[in-house]
Structure 1
Amino acid sequence: MSEEQQGAADEVELHESDQVEIDESKSAPEDRAIAGPFDVTEVPAMRPYVDLGGIKVAPREGLQLRLEVDERAGRVLAVSLEYQGSLLQVQAFSAPKSTGLWNRVRAEVTQQMAAQGASVTEEEGQLGPELLVRTQAPAEQGGGERVVRFVAVDGPRWMLRGVIMGQAAVDTGARDGILELFRELVVVRGDQPMPPSELLPLRVPAGAQGQAQGQAEQQGGAQPA
């Protein structure tokens, strides 16, 4: 994965929409509570996960886990999961209890990416509405087309967003495996009050990168890169 692809999600920020009419309904598959992505209250306490704070990752063979860190601010911004030639970058955000964020955020992503010259297409996927974003790489960076796919699910008081890069962005078969990863994720919203669209805090597991790597390897092969 190129650094340009991996940073695609960072270019889109959540903010208040300028649109007059906002669809505040939740966007999620009907079987979300039993097939994921899960709220922490919906999974057995004894099931092993790599605990990253606001997100828990179910380990599996061949999965590589990396944390995207803002070193200046000293905080973790996103979790990147690399699997079978594709990359899934995930973030979880706080949301109201009875309304969702993805319908509004999807419109904002479309507007922002189009303003940057990208081609944006909305498609209906396994999780509901998703965005396929195509951009042209500068000639000095090798040129060619870059494809990124945005997916998201509204859960209880949270929204989990994923940015799919690599083969799974364009290949349905590869995407099935990445969406399985997405649906195995667990979101830990917490009880503290938070404004809508605030990023749920993430952390390095076990307090240190080396410890996190050992823990992930023992639990099924997930390794921080």
Structure 2
Amino acid sequence: MIYNLLPDVPDPPSNVHLTSPCHTRITELHWHSISDNHPPVSHFIIQYNTSFNPEVWSTAKKLSTGDRHYDRISLSPWGNYSFRVIARNSVGDSLPSEPSAQPCSTPPDVPHHNPSGICTKNAKPHQLVITWKAMPPEQQNAPGFYYLVKWRRHDTVVAPSFEERILDADQDELIISEQPIYKPYEIYVLAVNEVGEAVAPPKMTIGYSGEDGEFL
């Protein structure tokens, strides 16, 4: 009796494991792949999740060779990682492998950048409203994260500087009352954690306090 085997997707890779520690924020991942009687594997897709969002798997790399069963992965600070691998052939993708069982935790570090999207918005007269894009946990890089907001008048030679710590990492706005109407300000928003300030220097933004009158 002759059996005609139809082409199918690969079997899931197996034995996904780390062969180097994660404390240097670079690790090497290995796996096994066996796909008898299927079209050859053309790609491997390496995915990871973290303890910040364990239900979401993100793609770290796509390897365009089915013969290679290892790769080096760069990691972010202050993360707990798991990995899995998907094999791909001309028919499609395999089911994901079982996640790696070994713990993979990276050490903390200063934030790698400061918040983006810093600006002011139209507000009530005598208010300066500073806004920015909040940074998610995977960008905070260590415990004790906060925003350091600094501002001073831009239109005077001698103007005092002010600053305020925002301890809520989800907060994306600071309202400062009792300001003169429609005056320019130099504004900085820094990312800071218990290790230190962001390695990138903060960029100055020029914003304005609220005008007198109503806005649409």
> Does the pair score TM above 0.5?
no
| Greater Rg by CA | 2
**Which structure ranks higher in relative contact order (CA pairs < 8 Å, sequence separation ≥ 6)?**
1
So what's the TM-score if we normalise by structure 2? Answer: 0.22
So what's the TM-score if we normalise by structure 1? Answer: 0.21
Higher helix proportion, which one? Answer: 1
